[in-house]
Amino acid sequence: MTDIRKYLPLILLGLVAVLVFSMCGSYNTTVKKDEGVKAAWSQVENQYQRRSDLIPNLVNTVKGYANFEQQTLEAVVSARASATQMKIDPNNLTPEAIQRFEQAQQGLSGALGRLLMVTENYPDLKANQNFLDLQKQLEGTENRITVERKNFNESVQDYNSYIRRFPTNLLVGVFGFSPKGYFQAQPGSEKAPEVKF
């Protein structure tokens, strides 16, 4: 018995050391996953910026057709301005902030959709090579946006799952880590659009 008491301080010191190393490992992993979410968000913004950068070229190409509806062009320009003004701090990726960002981007998507629909009435514009190239680039960018949003949601899921695990969940609140928000489908997106000819 006296031999165990002699080693008790060493045993306690060993347990404390294991706990400290475990906490350091959890903290470092949380930081890495948090940075992964921020990097994924950066890629989402990068693709939205790519789309935004294509719009002035598309508008200028369409403006060359004098009969084109000015109101439609103005709606696209206005929606682009609104979407580019909406910024989110990567440290504050709350569901509400992401929803506001997505609403601004949806406004731009809707305006672009109307622009592309109206172009159907202009055969010369539809045949213009610059317009066709820009339209292909926009379609490719929309696909890239979808991929980056998926990657972002996967990073958020990984991070959120990790910070909810025990004992990490005890540590993260102390250091200010909190759950991140996801991109979610817009209300009404579960209904197929009605197409009329």
In the predicted model, is pLDDT for residue 20 greater than 70? yes
The answer to whether residue 40 is domain-embedded is yes
pTM of the model: 0.74
The answer to whether residue 195 is domain-embedded is no
The answer to whether residue 166 is domain-embedded is yes
The answer to whether residue 107 is domain-embedded is yes
Q: What is the pLDDT of residue 194?
A: 46
Distances (CA, A) of 159 to 11, 18, 31, 169, 186: 34, 24, 9, 12, 23
The answer to whether residue 140 is domain-embedded is yes
pLDDT band at 186 (very low <50, low <70, confident <90, very high): low
The answer to whether residue 181 is domain-embedded is no
C-alpha to C-alpha distance for 196 and 175, rounded to whole angstroms? 55
Q: How many domains does the chain have?
A: 1
- CATH code for the domain of 81: 1.20.120
In the predicted model, is pLDDT for residue 69 greater than 80? no
The mean-pLDDT minimum among 25-39, 50-64, 65-79, 95-109 falls in 65-79
The answer to whether residue 26 is domain-embedded is no
The mean-pLDDT minimum among 4-8, 141-145, 162-166 falls in 4-8
Sign of CA dihedral 29, 31, 32, 38: positive
Q: Residue 33 is encoded by which pair of tokens?
A: 């996953």
Domain enclosing residue 150, as ranges: 36-172
Per the prediction, the chain carries an average pLDDT of: 81
pLDDT band at 108 (very low <50, low <70, confident <90, very high): confident
The answer to whether residue 189 is domain-embedded is no
